[in-house]
Amino acid sequence: MQIVTSPQKLRELCSQWHHGHQSIALVPTMGYCHAGHEALMEYGRANADKLVVSVFVNPAQFGPNEDLAQYPRDLDRDAAIAESRGADLVFAPEAQAMYADRHATWVEVPTMAAGLCGTSRPGHFRGVCTIVLKLFNLTRADLAVFGQKDWQQQAILRRMAADLDLPVKVVACPTVREADGLALSSRNVYLSDTERKQAPAIRAALLEARERAQAGETDARRLIDGVLGFWSRHMPDGICDYATVAHPETMEPLERVDGPALLACAVKLGKARLLDNILLRD
């Protein structure tokens, strides 16, 4: 497995593979890999000839008061994990290599990025779309693998790929969880013991909401109130950033659950901001 820091070198290696008629799967990450990332690598490994894993803490997707500086990093460990999962190449560029001094081009899907995570993280998805498009262009990947944990992100990236006629198949793999239901996240390391004990309530509340929806509750507000009530009983240190029922493809907020519906949320627990979501109806 090669570790590459130069975008030009990445482009050259991927070009050689394409010329040899080998398909490429790309798994973009910010590193500090866990079993969630590994599941994406496994999917990529099984569905393409070559597997490229990028490890880049993308400054453009962090707001000024967010955790860019503190974000956990361990490239040696990430490279070992990627290699153990059969990656052919880890791309780990410096920020300057990805954003030239005069960088001035941004990619946005504004309607889909306005709500949910976009409300408290303005500019976040613009940063995500821009870096992912750059990675698509450098690798010309046939397949790109993302996680359903970041549901809004994969929905936006699918839209971007369709709208811009990008020759890449975007796939989103199911969320990998701890035994108690907490979605794996690199940011879980920020949790104190007390916060970690409360964190499974995030998922438990979503499961309860799905049960209520399956039992016939169609009022999104009532489902959300149920989630908020569950959290206040079981997660006293949690602060809800948002809990929203939205259409799973367009991310438009829904008042009624009478077709495909996703309940997505972000919760601040101590220093961590944790995401989760559940499909109420497919």
Decide whether 67 or 208 has the Cβ nearer to ligand AMP.
67
Decide whether 127 or 238 has the Cβ nearer to ligand AMP.
127
Structure tokens at 130: 């821009």
Catalytic residue, candidates 21, 37, 124, 234: 37
Q: How far is the CB of 34 from ligand AMP (least distance, A)?
A: 7
Strands (E), the chain: 2-4, 24-29, 50-55, 89-91, 143-147, 169-173, 238-246, 261-269, 272-281
Work out the end-to-end distance of the chain between its first and last CA atoms, rounded to an integer number of angstroms.
Answer: 39
CA distance 217 to 184: 29
Active site (annotated) includes residue 18: no
**Binding to ligand AMP by residue 54, rule CB under 6 A?**
no
* Contact present, 33 and 78 (Cβ < 8 Å): yes
Q: How far is the CB of 27 from ligand AMP (least distance, A)?
A: 7
**Binding to ligand AMP by residue 238, rule CB under 6 A?**
no
Q: How far is the CB of 255 from ligand AMP (least distance, A)?
A: 27
CA distance 124 to 122: 6
Query: Counting beta carbons within 10 angstroms of the beta carbon of residue 258, is it exposed (0 to 12), middle (13 to 18) or buried (19 or more)?
Result: exposed
**Binding to ligand AMP by residue 149, rule CB under 6 A?**
yes
Q: How far is the CB of 74 from ligand AMP (least distance, A)?
A: 12
Which residues are identified as catalytic? 37
Contacting residues toward ligand AMP, per CB under 6 A: 29-30, 36-37, 39-40, 146-147, 149-150, 173, 175-176, 183-186
